[in-house]
Amino acid sequence: MSMSNGALSKIQTRQVCYAVASFCLGAWAFYKVNTISGPFFEPIIAACQNPDFSVDDFAQKTGYHSYEPKLGLGAFNLLVCLITQFLLELRETHPAGILTWGGVIVVSLPLALFNSICAGRRGGKGPVRYPTAFGLLFQLFGISVMYPMLYNPSYIFSGVRFGVPATNFRIIAATILSLPGIILTFLVFYAPTESYLWTCAAGMLGGPILVMT
């Protein structure tokens, strides 16, 4: 029994070390992201939060692209406004913009599939069972920040084990639900930026709508 307790203690210690290391990596990523992108985002955030600018005259008064606040569902209007300007910058910075976002999509799709499947595995517990909540955090703070900072530690302590099956329905549904991100990405980089279609596609791609589908 003492050997079993010792082995269990080693496993728990290893889990704590992995979780702390992952959290620190996420914290470092948060610092670096804000250091690099902060100067770019600060004036946009100020404009998006300015009560003197209505949605109808936002573009005319600020020089930024118009956005669709309905896609923010009230609580995430700032995010939709901000991400619309960010995606416009990527669209207009060719080819670096599409390569950057393409890298994000290449990483995000398998992770989203993995998150959805792990949420349905028997024996799992804790935050890992709520992929939509994590999806919103990814949209708000970035997947490069929240995945190591919160998701990895949650997964480490979730009790999820390889070989424990998820249902076929969850696997198929998770695969199908990855398609909207691909379609919206295509629209953001190929639809005319002055169109309402592009505005909606940008707002959905970076806002709460995509992760709540």
Classify residue 71 as exposed, middle or buried by CB count within 10 Å of its CB (0-12, 13-18, 19+).
buried
pTM, two decimals, is 0.82
What token pair was written down for 22?
């992952």
The pLDDT profile of the chain, 213 residues, written as one tens digit per residue, is: 444 666 657 768 888 999 999 999 999 999 998 898 888 889 999 999 888 888 888 888 898 999 999 999 888 999 999 999 999 999 999 888 888 888 888 888 888 888 888 887 777 788 988 988 998 999 888 888 999 999 999 998 888 766 666 678 877 887 888 888 889 999 999 999 999 999 999 999 989 988 886
Please report the pLDDT score of residue 2 as a whole number.
44
Please report the pLDDT score of residue 23 as a whole number.
96
**Could you tell me which of 124, 128, 148 has the C-alpha nearest to residue 24?**
148
Residues 6+ apart with CB under 8 A from 142: 29, 30, 33
Alpha helix (H) residue ranges in 50-167: 58-62, 77-92, 96-119, 131-141, 143-146, 152-156
The span from the CA of 110 to the CA of 116, in Å, is 10
